[in-house]
Structure 1
């Protein structure tokens, strides 16, 4: 999200442009008078701002509308469906995904391919992703959209304010700069890279469909590993180095097995995908055979659990209990409104939640807060990271539309 602007006349104009755009995005179509009433500016000031946003291709007028009040009808304003668009991409362990999202946060183009990215050289993976980005961008332009930025979700630690993946254990990457290959794919397009759990949390904030939408929550997601993101008052808690949210490496049993991070008894050793498959009696070769597509191994676990496989159900209960132990400390420390289970955890929620909620109920310091009131399941599932990536570009436009002209977009 954009940093606060200084209190100058130019900064005030930029803030007011954002206020108008946000008002139409949240409540449109709206007349100029309705926008003025919502944001507390004069109609004359709003008209000037609207004209500027329309010239930049962000707003369109639908024609006269009469909202049932006396007087001359005003023209209803809405976001331009053929204007700027955000591109979002995700590098998963077993897939690559890209989508284009318009200003109304509707996905207009989406593509996903299987890709064995684990322990592969970064160059070929980034090359395949660059080609997918080019394809989606071209399709978006064919629909009249104008890509104005690309954000990439990765399952690892990303250095703050950079495109460098410091460490992604489940990809086998360390110190990988994803910028050059992707900038070559779309020269001049602004690029950001972030942790997949962070972007999944932002998708939850903007697109999760919660009623009411929580402003303070912990988002937990999973693929091979387990990640988390903390949202406080609608903003990500990033930490000093940008590494906040590494829930998967919180030790739940200090005497437990060694983890790839170098510690012992980490949550991933009990609730990660491979750990659950192993505990459920599904050998690695069986899990791999015919289950290489994205999410197929999770689907295998869910199918076996639904069919009554007691060993798989026991493994999922153990994973839920481990999640509950790790999350209890997080909830006691931060006191969020909700914990949202997302990513690959969503199809397994029916078997994870009972043990997870029992652990929370036993361990939370607030006796009036039962565990089942804390946890909710995401409606976005495994799409969260790529949606959050594209949504972060859109949010940047809504927060500072004047920056588009400065960037030459």
Structure 2
């Protein structure tokens, strides 16, 4: 897991002695997860606490099963070596799950950011009722949790990425046009209780980019990802911009040609109608079945003129839509993730031309391609659970989690 700056405030914890101790527990756990194994003295130097204070905090985290003693540290420096502490091979893991239009995926990630187990299944989920889709997803979650339990790991929670609008601080998918879902409460279908969170796949992809996507990670960027639909998320000063209702980032339904074709959202001329997966396939004269992103990349790399022309058109449409976001938000970077990362060599030239033509700031944002590719939302979901443990380990320890059934 790449180190990232810790927040200045204690994650909403009260400024009391108990609140400060919980914050300090988090500082210690973050430091060891990011840079460990470390001695107590090394941790103290990194987070600005005394060695005695760190020793007390380490004892508490060890008792909770979040840290382990690893023996004497061989530092190579003069003086008595300290005892190294680190994240053990056992302990909590975050379970990330993703509902895609054409797949279901689940992964377990430990506190070091290592993927410990994963499972996936191809599935045509367009128009399927939510109940059988979520039942199948729960089966994959059981498969992954059984695997990590066999290694002595404990699931700390489940986060689900979905390709649609999720009402803020709820489990409700308000609208997922490409699935055909409206007002679906995932909490009523998935048996994980208070340890379940649900979020938009683009939001989780952006958080993955922030946490594990680069070194150093950008702090202000627009993250764009696509498969059947196109999603976007905005990160400002290292924090996800959600909007008043949690719906910020719906770039795929920004109209780029107001009199264009009808969209599943009810509008016309939306970006998805020009740069979504099916739109590009239609423009290239190809079938929309199978695994089309791989087909588009293969054909484009082989020099297929129709595919390259279709991708140039998609890149131009993306540039038109992103120009408005760039003019409004002034981000440092625009990051292409998801399926767009595979197609970036043929999308970027026309995208950049449109941004150059349409943005007012001469210091235009950097255009970068995510290293996470299509795994971004799934990894972001799993890491969101991990971050919840790192940010408030006392709450995890006090919760005595029983794991995910």
TM-score (norm 2): 0.94
Contact map agreement 2:11 2:391 (CA 8 A) in 1: no
* Deviation sequence 1:17-42 (CA, Å, 0-9, x none): 00111111222111101111111111
Correspondence list, 1:80-99, <5 A: 80-99=88-107
Q: Distance in 2 between matches of 1:27 and 1:268?
A: 41
Over aligned residue pairs, what C-alpha RMSD do you find? Answer: 1.4
- Residue of structure 2 in register with 1:248 after alignment: 252
Contact map agreement 2:282 2:288 (CA 8 A) in 1: no
Q: Distance in 1 between matches of 2:270 and 2:56?
A: 56
Q: Distance in 1 between matches of 2:209 and 2:14?
A: 29
Correspondence list, 1:346-361, <5 A: 346-361=341-356
Pick from 128, 146, 153 the counterpart of residue 154 of structure 2: 146
Displacement after TM superposition at 1:71 (Å): 2.6
- Residue of structure 1 in register with 2:305 after alignment: 310
Q: Which has the larger displacement, 190-199 or 303-312?
A: 303-312
- Residue of structure 1 in register with 2:386 after alignment: 394
Instruction: Provide the secondary structure at the position in 2 that maps to 1:229.
Output: strand
Displacement after TM superposition at 1:398 (Å): 0.5
* Deviation sequence 1:259-301 (CA, Å, 0-9, x none): 121222111110001111111112xxx332xx1xxxx111111
Instruction: Provide the secondary structure at the position in 1 that maps to 2:288.
Output: helix
Pick from 43, 53, 59 the counterpart of residue 45 of structure 1: 53
Q: Which has the larger displacement, 70-79 or 113-122?
A: 70-79
**Residues paired across the two proteins, number:** 393
Instruction: Provide the secondary structure at the position in 2 that maps to 1:252.
Output: coil
- Residue of structure 2 in register with 1:196 after alignment: 201
- Residue of structure 2 in register with 1:24 after alignment: 32
Structure 1: 4+ residue segments shifted above 3 A: none
* Deviation sequence 1:191-231 (CA, Å, 0-9, x none): 000000000111111121x2331011111001111000111
Q: Distance in 1 between matches of 2:118 and 2:266?
A: 37
Q: Distance in 1 between matches of 2:216 and 2:54?
A: 30
Instruction: Provide the secondary structure at the position in 2 that maps to 1:329.
Output: helix
Q: Distance in 1 between matches of 2:126 and 2:306?
A: 27
- Residue of structure 1 in register with 2:43 after alignment: 35
Contact map agreement 2:278 2:288 (CA 8 A) in 1: no
* Deviation sequence 1:308-363 (CA, Å, 0-9, x none): 22111111101000000111111111111111100111111111010001111112
Q: Distance in 2 between matches of 1:68 and 1:310?
A: 60
- Residue of structure 1 in register with 2:3 after alignment: none
- Residue of structure 2 in register with 1:336 after alignment: 331
Pick from 13, 18, 24 the counterpart of residue 21 of structure 2: 13
**Structure 1: runs of 5 or more not aligned:** none
Instruction: Provide the secondary structure at the position in 1 that maps to 2:266.
Output: coil
Contact map agreement 1:221 1:228 (CA 8 A) in 2: yes
- Residue of structure 1 in register with 2:69 after alignment: 61
Instruction: Provide the secondary structure at the position in 2 that maps to 1:384.
Output: helix
| Residues 1:275 and 2:270 are matched in the alignment | no
Q: Distance in 1 between matches of 2:363 and 2:98?
A: 40
Displacement after TM superposition at 1:115 (Å): 1.1
TM-score (norm 1): 0.94
Q: Distance in 1 between matches of 2:366 and 2:46?
A: 33
Contact map agreement 1:86 1:150 (CA 8 A) in 2: yes
| Residues 1:105 and 2:113 are matched in the alignment | yes
